[in-house]
Amino acid sequence: MTTRRIVSTQGAPAAIGPYSQAVVGGGLVHCSGQIPIDPATGKLIDGDVAAQAERVLANLKAVLEAAGSGFDRVLKCQVFLKDLRDFDAVNAVYARAFEGLEPPARACVEVARLPKDVLVEIDCVALCD
């Protein structure tokens, strides 16, 4: 039987529901979706979709690092957008996060609504030790 380890870091916002920031098992870290909450204040950040995407990716990076992983080990991301017309703006921020790396597989979909009415949410699965 494979064991699992719960990941929690103050470098990313605390979960806003009954879930963990990430769970490690079987050599993988499964990161819950991150939204643009500033972990220092617990409040949503101000700004457009690009600013929100930057905060989301910073939060995701903190969770990955707490799990012993990083963007260089991400296998797949899922990007959820409130408006698919924001694809190019989010894609530019996303590309910078993975600059110099072989990018992971990805899905990007428009959804009717996201938690706290944010514009973007991203989750991922990555390799970890």
pLDDT, one tens digit per residue, over 60-106 is: 999 999 999 999 999 999 999 999 999 999 999 999 999 999 999 99
So what's the pLDDT on residue 58?
A: 98
Active site residue 77: no
* Torsion sign over Cα 72, 73, 79, 84: positive
Per-residue pLDDT, averaged over 13-32, amounts to 96
* Mean pLDDT (whole number) for 31-59: 97
Q: What average pLDDT does the chain have? A: 97
Cα of 21 vs its chain's centroid, Å: 10
pTM, two decimals, is 0.96
Give helix then strand counts, H and E, for the chain: 2, 8
- The total domain count for the chain is 1
pLDDT at 59 over 90: yes
pLDDT of residue 2: 72
Instruction: Please give the pLDDT value at position 122.
Output: 98
CA distance 81 to 113: 9
Instruction: List the domain range (segments joined by +) for residue 74.
Output: 4-127
* Angstrom distances, CA of residue 8 to CA of 1, 28, 56, 114, 116: 23, 15, 16, 22, 21
Q: How far apart are CA 122 and CA 129, in angstroms?
A: 22
Looking at 31, 108, 124, 128, which residue is catalytic? 108
* Residue 7 and residue 29 in contact, taking contact as beta carbons nearer than 8 Å: yes
pLDDT value of residue 100: 98
Q: What is the CATH number of the domain that holds 111?
A: 3.30.1330.40
Task: Please determine, for residue 26, whether its predicted confidence score (pLDDT) is greater than 80.
Answer: yes
pLDDT at 1 over 70: no
Show the tokens assigned to 81. 């957008």
Name the burial class of residue 2, with classes exposed (0-12), middle (13-18) and buried (19+) by CB atoms within 10 angstroms of its CB: exposed
Rounded to 10 degrees, what is the CA torsion of 20, 40, 36, 23? -20
- Find the mean pLDDT for residues 34-54: 97
